[in-house]
Amino acid sequence: MTATTTLDTPCSSQPGDTPPSHRHMPIASRLPAEVVREYGPFGDASAVHGVTHDGHRVWAATGEHLVAFDPESGTTTRTLDVVCDAGTAFDGMHIYQIAEARIDKIDPATGRVLATIPAPGGGSDSGLTWAEGSLWVGQYRDRKIHQIDPATGAVRRTIESDRFVTGVTWVDGELWHGTWEGDESTLRHIDPASGTVVQQLDMPQGMGVSGLESDGAGLFYCGGGGSGKVRAVRRPAARGR
């Protein structure tokens, strides 16, 4: 799953309207996104690309540094010097990070790159998440999400969307992805079999979504592209909690 060069945070491309050839799918439920908190900017970083959550901390990919922060206090707790210009994921032990045309497997304790596989988009990749023993990779302008083998990079299946895909995440069996077209961004829960939009959260006008990750409970964390921020958005199923 910025204001500068990557497709995970696409403000520089100013994508504009979806071409007429891409008919928008019906949306079963549509709500305004409830932004509950903002974090950052982080030091001198000008953008946030991917984001992930390791069960305790949120990690934000800022281009040259992976920054971990405490979501309660907002305090930065770790900084890793790695290339991180698009999506980020955590498998329970390791961080996976899109870096140009590859995906690096990183030891979060040391920042050492343990393995590398090719990214399916060859440099046009956006969001990234881990679920069901696979990596799931957003393809921004291709409007696709690929499930790939984390050891080889081989594509296991492909899900199509009718919007540009930025960040991606799975939570409680639900597949969500971010969109960013012009000044509009949304979070979309889609049926992984059909691509049908089950629910959509509309972000405030001008508030872009680059990376996307769930904390496994009541929040989504959204990379904010060129704003340099990460925003916490209330997950709809948790509104009554």
pTM: 0.88
| Boundaries of every domain in the chain | 24-238
Q: Alpha-carbon torsion 103, 164, 40, 189, what sign?
A: negative
Residue 76 bridge partners (DSSP) = 69
Q: What is the mean pLDDT of residues 161-188?
A: 95
Evaluate whether the domain defined by 24-238 bears CATH number 2.120.10.30: yes
Residues 6+ apart with CB under 8 A from 20: none
Closest alpha carbon to 112 in 143, 145, 82: 82
pLDDT in tens, 32-89: 999 999 999 999 899 999 999 999 999 999 999 999 999 999 999 999 999 999 999 9
Q: What local confidence, expressed as pLDDT, does residue 18 receive?
A: 41
Residue 195 pLDDT? 86
Integer Cα distance of 19 and 206 in angstroms:
20
Backbone angles phi, psi at 236, to 5 degrees: -55, -40
pLDDT tens-digit readout, 176-224:
999 999 889 999 999 998 889 999 999 999 999 999 999 999 999 999 9
